Structure 1
Amino acid sequence: MKRRNFIATAAVGSAGLASGSAMTSDQVLPQTFKLKHNINHSVCEWCFSDIPFEDFLKTLKELGVNAIDLIGPDRWPILKKYDIHCSMCNGAEISLTEGWNNPKYHEQLIKNYTEMIPKVAEAGYTNLICFSGNRNGINDYVGLQNCVDGLSQIIPLAEKHGVIIQMELFNQVNHPDYMCDNSLWGVELCKHLGSDNFKLLFDIYHMQIQEGDIIRSIQNYHPYFGHYHTAGVPGRHEIDETQELYYPAIIKAIHDTGFTGYVAQEFIVTWEDKIAALKDAFMRCDV
């Protein structure tokens, strides 16, 4: 192709991609929305919090999505009403910045998780989130040992009740000074704890920003990953052609590892039709 013709053709294609956020549902979605269910789909409710909670649950049921992330005990009865599973529970943590890497929070965290773990199990759920906390001058090696010292006091209870404690990985752009900011540190923590009841919540958005090479990380460290979150990079928006990650390949890599947990959508919607954006994301992640 002549260079001049190539540039003109490429310009048209780029214009089409740039207009992705303005797409309507009938432009980006097949006429019939139907999931294959080779992937256990979920979604983080906070991204759609402007939709009344029960209305959102009804929509998920209509889509054939039976799980939702980051819901605490106060709303579990509503999930039961609509037969929606809580794929990642919260409510035991102190905050994202005050976590297991600092011994001064251990007493409160141990109390919180000791109370929450039986509740999670009694409700029929499995996953409970936790955070490393910020460094605040603590060396990464010291912080890792602090996490081991604290978490090892609740892991036996988690094992008894069949609950998996999952520490989320964050990047340094959105969460400056957060300690669990790379796969290797998190995997090392898993190895030190030596329990199938402690895993990493691998947030694809965060780790693309922090370390990249997403598929290689999934292939190399998947035994330590118990849950996945999605979002587009840059911007944490839709996972369509407006961003740099190709999610069908990523989800295929997850599926190829034999993963049977949940992949939860966690992007900030820019489309006018938020449910259309969510449908599009589910379809892209439905291998």
Structure 2
Amino acid sequence: MVNAPLLHMMAGIASPQDAVALASYKDCLAFAADAAGAEGVGVVIEPLNGRDMPGYFLDSFERAVEIIDDLGHPNVRLQFDIYHRQVMRGDVLTALEAIMPLIGHVQIASVPRRNEPGTGELDDFRIFAALDALGYGGYVGCEYRPAAGTVAGLGWMEKVRSGSGFH
């Protein structure tokens, strides 16, 4: 048994236009969601950008939302990775607002170098505030590469704790 509330089901490498791959992915996702749900575990799917993961099947947020909607499985949610969204399409805040009901987990890394929050082109602290305002109650996973080492890379957390990073 897995002692985690969510499992991330990856899509693998295949052409996004491959109908057989889509049908197989949906079948496997439904099977995994049923099995995980029986153990009280949710399943999340995550679109990945083609710059970092060329050839990845689940290459857009629109496709992920479509798959979730098509399956209609209560145990399947979206893993919203802010880094991937910004690289793919931008418009992070509007997308969060539009698809918040489908989001099961959020991840963050700065864009473009995938370093800690507060070091890239987005106002990560504004995004944190938006997540709060939208009622997101889950964890925000940190999937970044610290620019100057792990300890220094955790310095942004002080802004979150003190509230000084929020607008």
Please give the TM-score of this superposition, normalised by the length of structure 1. 0.52
Shift of 1:196: 2.4
Are residue 271 (structure 1) and residue 148 (structure 2) matched? yes
Give the letter for the 2:22 counterpart.
L
- Find out whether 1:128 has 2:7 as its counterpart: yes
Report the Cα distance in structure 1 between the residues aligned to 2:108 and 2:96, rounded to whole angstroms. Answer: 13
Report what 1:161 is aligned to: 39
How far 1:187 moved relative to its partner? Answer: 0.6
State, as a whole percentage, how many aligned pairs show the same letter.
Answer: 31
Please report the RMSD computed on the Cα atoms of aligned residues, expressed in angstroms.
2.0
Whose Rg is larger? 1
Aligned to 2:113: 235
Distance 2:122 2:160 in 1: 12
User: CA shift at 1:159, angstroms?
Assistant: 2.2
Q: Counterpart in 1 of 2:101?
A: 223
Unaligned runs of 5+ in 1: 1-118
Query: In structure 2, what is the Cα distance between the partners aligned to 1:253 and 1:184?
Result: 21
CA distance in 2, matches of 1:140, 1:214: 28
What is aligned with 1:245? 122
Q: Tell me the secondary structure at the aligned position of residue 227 of structure 1.
A: strand
d(CA) in 1 for partners of 2:86, 2:108: 10
Tell me, what secondary structure is at the counterpart of 1:189?
A: helix
Larger relative contact order (C-alpha < 8 A, sep ≥ 6)?
A: 1
Q: Quote the residue 1:258 is aligned against.
A: 135
Deviation at 1:142, TM superposition (A): 4.4
- Report the Cα offset of residue 138 of structure 1: 5.6
Question: 1:38 corresponds to which residue?
Answer: none
Gaps of 5+ in 2: none
Change (3 A) 1:198 1:270: same
Per the alignment, do residues 211 and 224 of structure 1 end up closer, same or farther by CA in structure 2, a change over 3 Å counting?
A: same
Q: Is the 8 A contact 1:265 1:281 kept in 2?
A: no
Instruction: Write the letter of the residue equivalent to 2:141.
Output: A
Larger relative helix fraction: 1
Query: In structure 2, what is the Cα distance between the partners aligned to 1:236 and 1:230?
Result: 9
Aligned length: 163
- Does the C-alpha gap of structure 1 residues 141 and 279 become closer, same or farther in structure 2, counting only changes over 3 Å? farther
Find the residue that maps to 2:74 and give its secondary structure. coil
Match of 1:195 among 73, 88, 99: 73
Q: Cα distance 1:270–1:148, how it changes in 2: closer, same or farther (>3 A)?
A: same
Partners of 2:116 and 2:147 lie apart in 1 by 7
Segment drifting more, 154-163 vs 177-186? 154-163
Distance 1:145 1:263 in 2: 31
Cα distance in 2 for partners of 1:188, 1:147 equals 13
**Deviation digits for residues 112-169 of structure 1 (CA, Å, limit 9, x no counterpart):** xxxxxxx12xx3x21111111112x462554333221222223222222221111122
Give the counterpart of 1:280 among 140, 156, 167. 156
**1:279 aligned counterpart, secondary structure:** coil
